[in-house]
């Protein structure tokens, strides 16, 4: 087999490697489709350190090629989507149901080798049998979709409410579609014209270019009141966090899904005075299934 090994920042080499053999409870998956996301880019550039050499990649779909002892969930030949995070299952956080917050959580493609290879070895519990009729190219979006579903759930959005999505990358565009399915009216805020056009094509009730400023005015015009009921922030930049706080109404909710890698200067005076609720949303719990 071959795999794309990252030997250091920006040092990616496609090299031969011995095919992995499944240990007890493990599954070997032949990769059919792999996704590329911002986390992969940060690992590639060295902004997110990993132990080298590392095979990146965590969004993927494939077919089970081999199974280890005690595997009962899948069989050879099954088409599966792979959940790329797994927890210890034994710590207080896991026992409380917060396995996404487990301090011993392992991320495939970051802590262990991932899917930028012909085949990948993963724990059985990470393999979810794929429904018939869903193309691999759509199924590979299961992981970012799970992130978005959790964020929307944590925002407690109700039908008829107004919601702003900050960032119109993959997560933002998926959030738009989930929110529309929940009956919300959605304002998308982003930087690039093409992605804002795509957001409109996907059903955004309105779009606004962040570079144009006037975010508060845009939110008031869109919502017909002091701002939107909730904001889903997906960009992961300090600017996006502040944009979210400008858009939300007093008493509203801001859910942060992005992971800023630079300090954020937030006006907590405004947060307190307006009783804005800021909620972190870390990957997913049971949403992947």
CA 187 – CA 200 distance, rounded (Å): 9
Local structure of residue 217 (DSSP, 8 states): H
* Phi, psi values for residue 34, rounded to 5°: -125, 140
Residue with tokens 């759930």: 153
Domain 144-280, architecture per CATH: 3-Layer(aba) Sandwich (3.40)
CA 128 – CA 131 distance, rounded (Å): 9
pLDDT band of residue 124 (cuts 50, 70, 90) is very high
CB of 210 closer than 8 Å to CB of 191: yes
- pLDDT tens sequence across 185-240: 999 999 988 999 999 999 999 999 998 889 999 999 999 999 999 999 999 999 99
Q: From 205, 203, 174, 173, select the one nearest 190 (Cα to Cα).
A: 173
**Which helix H or strand E contains 123, and what residues bound it?**
strand 119-123
Domain residues of the chain, as ranges? Answer: 2-140, 144-280
Buried-state track 188-202, b at ≥16 Cβ within 10 A, e below 16: bbbbeeebbebbeee
Q: Which two tokens stand for residue 261?
A: 């890698």
CA 81 – CA 52 distance, rounded (Å): 26
Q: What is the pLDDT of residue 192?
A: 82
CB of 59 closer than 8 Å to CB of 146: no
Q: Which two tokens stand for residue 123?
A: 């724990």
Same-fold call for 2-140 versus 144-280: no
Q: What is the pLDDT of residue 223?
A: 98
CB of 65 closer than 8 Å to CB of 77: no
CATH of domain 2-140: 3.90.180.10
Q: Could you tell me what percent of the chain has a pLDDT over 90?
A: 94
CA 5 – CA 1 distance, rounded (Å): 12
| Angle formed at CA 161 by CA 147 and CA 213, multiple of 5 degrees | 80
Q: What is the pLDDT of residue 120?
A: 99
pTM of the model: 0.95
pLDDT higher than 90, residue 23 = yes
Q: What is the pLDDT of residue 289?
A: 78
* Beta bridge mates, 27: 67, 122
Average pLDDT in the 97-112 region?
98
Q: What is the pLDDT of residue 259?
A: 87
- pLDDT tens sequence across 232-289: 999 999 999 999 999 999 999 999 999 888 888 899 999 999 999 999 999 999 999 7
Q: What is the pLDDT of residue 263?
A: 85
Mean pLDDT of the chain: 97
- pLDDT tens sequence across 64-77: 999 999 999 999 99
Q: Could you tell me what percent of the chain has a pLDDT over 70?
A: 100
* Phi, psi values for residue 109, rounded to 5°: 85, -5
Q: Which two tokens stand for residue 67?
A: 């199974």
CA 240 – CA 246 distance, rounded (Å): 10
């Amino acid at each position: 087999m071959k795999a794309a090994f990252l030997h250091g920042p920006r040092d990616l080499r496609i090299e031969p490697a011995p095919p992995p053999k499944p240990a007890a409870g493990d599954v070997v998956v032949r990769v059919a489709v792999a996704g590329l996301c911002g986390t992969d880019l940060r690992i590639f550039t060295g902004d997110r350190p990993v132990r080298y050499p590392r095979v990146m990649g965590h969004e993927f779909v494939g077919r089970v090629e081999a199974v280890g002892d005690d595997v009962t969930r899948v069989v050879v030949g099954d088409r599966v989507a792979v959940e790329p995070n797994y927890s210890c299952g034994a710590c207080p956080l896991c026992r409380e149901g917060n396995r996404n917050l487990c301090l011993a959580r392992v991320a495939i493609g970051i802590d262990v080798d991932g899917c930028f290879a012909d085949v990948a070895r993963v724990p059985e519990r990470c393999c979810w049998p794929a429904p018939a009729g869903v193309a691999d190219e759509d199924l590979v979006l299961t992981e970012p979709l799970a992130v978005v579903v959790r964020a929307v759930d944590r925002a407690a959005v109700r039908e008829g409410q107004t919601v702003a999505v900050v960032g119109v990358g993959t997560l933002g565009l998926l959030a738009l579609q989930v929110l529309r399915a929940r009956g919300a009216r959605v304002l998308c805020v982003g930087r690039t014209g093409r992605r804002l056009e795509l957001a409109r094509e996907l059903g955004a009730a309105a779009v606004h270019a962040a570079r144009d400023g006037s975010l508060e005015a845009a939110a008031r015009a869109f919502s017909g009141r002091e701002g939107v009921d909730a904001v889903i922030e997906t960009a992961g930049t300090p600017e996006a966090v502040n944009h979210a706080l400008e858009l939300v109404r007093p008493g509203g909710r801001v859910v942060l899904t992005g992971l800023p890698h630079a300090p954020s200067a937030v006006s907590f005076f405004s947060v307190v005075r307006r009783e804005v609720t800021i909620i972190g949303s870390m990957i997913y719990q049971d949403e992947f299934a």
